[in-house]
Structure 1
Amino acid sequence: MAKNVWKKETAEKRIATRLNEVSTIEIKDYVRDTDLHSLPRAKAYRVDGVHLYVDILNLGTMLQSTDVEGVTCQKRTLRFLNLHQRAVHRILGAVDAIKVDFHNQRLHAVIAKPYGDEEGRVHRAIAIGQLIIDVLAETGEDGDEYIPAADIRIGIDSGKALAVRNGRRGSTEPLFLGEPANHAAKRAGGGTATGIFLTNKARAAIALDEVNDEDGTALEPDEVTTSQDKADLPITATAVLRDWRKDLEANPISAFAFSGHTPPYANMDLELLSPGNSRRNDAISIYADIDGFTAYVAQHIDDDDTAKDVVRVLHVLRSEMDAVLTEDFGGRKIRFVGDCVHGVLVEGTAQTTDMEASASAAILCAGGLRSSFSTALDCLEAEDIDVAGLGLAIGFDAGPTAITRLGMKGAMIRCATGRNVLASEHEQKRCDGDETALGSVAYGWCTAAGQAIFGSSRKRSGLDYQTALDELADKGDPTAKAARVAKASLISISLLEPATAAPSAFRFPPRDATPTKPAGFA
């Protein structure tokens, strides 16, 4: 692995391998009790269901609970998340919902039952949402390290989505692609008011009036009560809290303990992490989101042939982003969040981060991600796969980053948290499909060359790898200069590799070649 070096030829080889893995795709309609957690890579299910997104609004407040982002506020934040994740895990299991993902403060779940009854599913989703609100209102802790209850905002939408397997190498979950997942997430992230927010499509399914402002119109208490009565869930908040407290007594959350990881992050085994064995470095958090993918899925989901291409496109793009981050730049993917990858990278030692080198590596990595994305689109188009309308929005920021795994034993989830994680997602969201942005802390880490690339707006369009490498190296950035030398060395090595042996020269066969007489002739 040549660190901080991206090569088109290497990317093309990886992409060809990934395409071969999904050369044959099977699209099926979801049927009763299909196990979506063990989907083969080459199979996808079309699921008609209700999507529920839960956003914990006061995570940022936890990270800001101390003036300096030291270990105290991060330990509090991780315990805060761990307590709430364990409670929600118990709820979803009791109500037979599909847990898709719990990424830091954000939960995605799908309600597929009752089958063939959209109205019943929406009522059930509302009842589950209110149960989560009621339970998490009681799952804080008093004491020396006060942990508050969670402030909850919930978004709900209904419709068809495509379920595929998300992730590789032991970190797989179902992933749902399509408008209902995206719109539910937007309602959950659409404001700072707590409550349950439905799209007009979900409202229509339960005969509620359409509203002008979906993000500003929470369900009224009597509307929630109606849904609770119709859903008649098999569990109450009191029962969940009782079992949750018993579980905490029997399986207490370990005290969080941090140690620094010696770079690169690529060699960190995330599956060995736990609260008592967590990592913490000053590092870069990167979000790279496939822009336009929700509309792309909506255009292709109904036809089997085009739905197969959706699976191919997603597999190739996510896999290549993971490879760029890990193999080319020594970073580490934390999670795929829908069509977005979240990763971290750092330069330096376990004790001391080289801030300038880390920022420069992040700029080069962002360029590599964009170059690989463009290369992948070209390769997909060469296979007659439609990729029109897709782009890549990238954001990153820097700061103390805690990395661990949270949740129930046997079902622990990777987590990287810090103020920079929230900030990097914010930076990504202010980009369109051709832009890269960095936060104010990462900007301060940059060399003068790095700051010149982004300017006062801290945003740049069209920043591919070669552009980033040239602009940094030409202005004397040490990390880019070293990467340029490494890249030149790799090119020289490839040119010096032995050529394929030429075909052997024409030779007479090793036998007597004197004239012979055909049998029967004198």
Structure 2
Amino acid sequence: MSKNWNHERAVKHIDQKMDDVQTVSIKDYTREMLLESIPTNVAYRVDGVHMYADIQNLRDMLEATKAEGTDCHKRTLRFLDQHYRAVKRILDKVDARRVDFHSQRLHSLFTKPYNSEPDAEKRRVQRAVATAQLIIDVLAETGDNDEQIPAAKVRIGIDSGLALAVNNGRNGYREPLFLGDPANHAAKLASNNSTRGIYLSNAARLVIGLEEKDSPEKAPLTVEEIKDCQEAANLGVTTDEIVEEWREDLKNNPIGGYQFTRQTPPLCNMDISVLTPANSKRQEMVSMYADIDGFTSYVAENIDDNAEDVVRTLHVLRAEFERVVTSDFEARRVRFIGDCIQALTCDGTAHNTDEQKTVSEATRLAGALRSSFNLAIERLGEKGYETGDLGLAIGFDLGPISITRLGRHGDRIRCAIGRKVLESENRQCACKGTETAIGQAAYDAATDAVKSLFGTGRKVADLDYVEATEALADKGDESAKQARSAAYVAAPAVILADERDVRPYSATMARRPNRL
């Protein structure tokens, strides 16, 4: 059976998910609460300091060899694992929360001291700065020359303010997700450019008595400013202590050698929760990022007076994205990163990837995600929910990708790495909220139909499921032709306006008669 998206099936699921969040409770986070199991229809307003640590030499690790073979992937995964363990140890020592570790980017949160204490926000920012410097100092010591693992080069961004905490993930992979300006601003400060250091937003700078900067992303904290924060925070832990404990931990809980096997398609059958270094997956596949454009501004505009609709909108969109990826196209969601879904897809056999078909199906998956996005926004609006001015930016590329979990037993996090993982995210970041972009490798492997659809600029606007399937099928793409044939068999025939052209009917196609 061909992979396909169906309007009626999507409507049914979207309406079910809106029922889940018909009543939403917004609560204030005022003390130590368990945020890992936030109910679907609950969100917490959390006042805290968000810190992103961006490891800048991940790409260097992936590109250390000319060919992207198993050696560079093994070294890169060991590089990430060692540094994740070190940073996790630091966060535990300073009583901060690890939110997520996505490839080279680690997000953490400081909620203590609570607002009931004097100068709470100032002390949180000072604690975050002191911790940031501790991370930089520790990671400078945690390379491994014997294993060709360099020390990490780190740039850190920090912001302070109010965010919404909601449930992140499904099917046993649940963590708190923080929505709003402080997380977004901290992430942008960390990933802005190649210059290392600690960068504070103007909001965070003002909290600790520093002057605002016209371009805070170009103004790293000075040695004296960092020292002042270290003295005020008095973390009570040193670089030498962390490094010594980290080395002892590696001795007692060694990472082990990375070993790869292929996952027989479809990828939806891959159980990431059982992966370990000795049981990792690696093969040629498509990495895809689909990011809700304008979501941070939407949260900022509604967090005070209409946070309920933010929770409703995010829940419906993420649940529908998950369904389209996993059920409609039998692909694998790796994680949700804020308002973005990271997914992998592959067609072929246990032994080989059918690269041409994989790219064709990824193109139609991208179209299906946009169709579901548009439909969900429409259905939410019909219920009277505020959805702002949101869009969907999608990027994907094809290449060797390794999937595993990092960390110690009992505290492992999922990870997908590869040059094309980074490139697919870059392609997504270069898109507006109406655009879909394909990477060069995927474009080169694609059918002529896919190349024609994306053009030489490798980017197309308003690519929904019908547009993608019809355009590819019209130019002879076999995957799209099979999907179209299956849809026509399943749909009742109706006579169109000229009474000579009998075609199957669907609500989506009715809105797009120019593509029939």
TM-score range, shorter chain: over 0.9
Question: 187, 190, 198: which is aligned to 1:188?
Answer: 190
SS of residue in 2 equivalent to 1:36: coil
> CA separation in 2, counterparts of 1:431 and 1:8?
25
Matched, 1:4 2:8: no
Residue type matched to 1:26 in 2? S
- Residue 310 (1) aligns with residue 310 (2): yes
Take 2:367 and 2:91, find their aligned partners in 1: how far apart are those partners?
Answer: 40
Partners of 2:228 and 2:32 in 1: how far apart? 27
CA–CA separation in structure 1 for the residues paired with 2:204 and 2:103: 26
Q: 2: CA distance between counterparts of 1:411 and 1:22?
A: 31
Q: Secondary structure at the match of 1:289?
A: strand
> AA paired with 1:167?
G
TM-superposed deviation, 1:413: 0.8
Q: Give the TM-score normalised by structure 2.
A: 0.94
* Mapping of residues 105-116 of structure 1, within 5 Å: 105-116=104-115
1: distance between equivalents of 2:237 and 2:12?
52
What is the CA deviation profile of residues 304-331 of structure 1, one whole-angstrom value per residue up to 9, with x for unaligned ones? Answer: xx10111111011011111111111111
Q: Is contact 2:253–2:408 with CA below 8 Å preserved after alignment?
A: no
Distance in 2, matches of 1:471 and 1:241, equals 57
Report deviation, 1:408: 2.3
Residue 388 of structure 1 and its aligned partner are, at CA, apart by 2.3
Q: Does 1:279 align with 2:304?
A: no
- 1:496-511 equivalent positions in 2, closer than 5 A: none
Counterpart Cα distance in 2 of 1:268 and 1:486? 26
Q: Distance in 2 between matches of 1:409 and 1:229?
A: 35
Structure 2: runs of 5 or more not aligned = 494-503, 505-516
2:291 to 244, 268, 289: 289
Partner of 1:56: 55
2:171 pairs with 146, 166, 169, which one?
169
Aligned twin of 2:138: 135
C-alpha contact 2:398 2:420 (8 A) present in aligned 1? yes
The answer on whether the counterparts of 2:140 and 2:151 sit within 8 Å (CA) in structure 1 is yes
Deviation at 1:482, TM superposition (A): 1.2
Contact kept in structure 2, 1:287 and 1:428, CA below 8 Å:
yes
2:260 aligns with 258
2:89 — aligned with what? 90
- 1:142-169 deviation line (CA, Å, top 9, x unaligned): 11x3100000000001110000110111
How do 1:14-33 and structure 2 match up within 5 A? Answer: 14-33=13-32
Which residue identity is paired with 1:363?
A: T
Please give the per-residue CA displacement for 1:51-85, whole angstroms capped at 9, x wherever unaligned: 10010000000000100000000001000000011
Query: Within the alignment, does 1:126 sit opposite 2:129 as a pair?
Result: yes
- Shift of residue 390 of structure 1? 0.5
Measured on the aligned residues, the alpha-carbon RMSD in Å equals 1.3
The one-letter code sitting in structure 2 at the alignment partner of 1:56 is I
Q: CA deviation at 1:490?
A: 3.1
* 1:519 alignment counterpart: none
Work out whether residues 197 and 218 of structure 1, in 8 Å CA contact, stay in contact via their aligned partners in 2.
yes
The one of 210, 213, 216 aligned to 1:211: 213
Distance apart, 1:484 and its partner CA: 1.1
Moved over 3 A (4+): none
SS at match of 2:221: coil
| 2:303 corresponds to | 301
- Displacement of 1:215: 1.3
Q: CA deviation at 1:93?
A: 1.1
Residue 44 (structure 1) aligned with residue 43 (structure 2):
yes
Structure 2 residue 449 is matched with structure 1 residue 449: yes
The residue aligned with 2:153 is: 151
Q: Kindly state the Cα deviation for residue 492 of structure 1 after the two structures are TM-superposed.
A: 5.6
Query: How far off is 1:4 after superposition?
Result: 2.2
| TM-score computed with the length of structure 1 as normaliser | 0.93
- Corresponding pairs, count: 491
Q: Once the 2 structures are TM-superposed, how far is the Cα of residue 382 of structure 1 from its aligned partner?
A: 1.2
Structure 1 gaps of 5+ residues are: 497-522
Is the 2:310–2:387 Cα contact (8 Å) retained in structure 1? no
Secondary structure of 1:38's counterpart equals coil
Distance (Å, rounded) in 2 between the aligned partners of 1:492 and 1:319: 29
Letter of the aligned partner of 1:228 in structure 2? Q
Q: Secondary structure at the match of 1:349?
A: coil
CA contact (8 A) 1:281 1:350 kept: no
Which whole-Å deviations, capped at 9, do the CAs of 1:12-44 have from their partners, x for residues lacking one?
A: 111111111112211111111111112122211
Matches within 5 A, 1:104-503: 104-116=103-115, 117-143=120-146, 145-303=147-305, 306-491=306-491
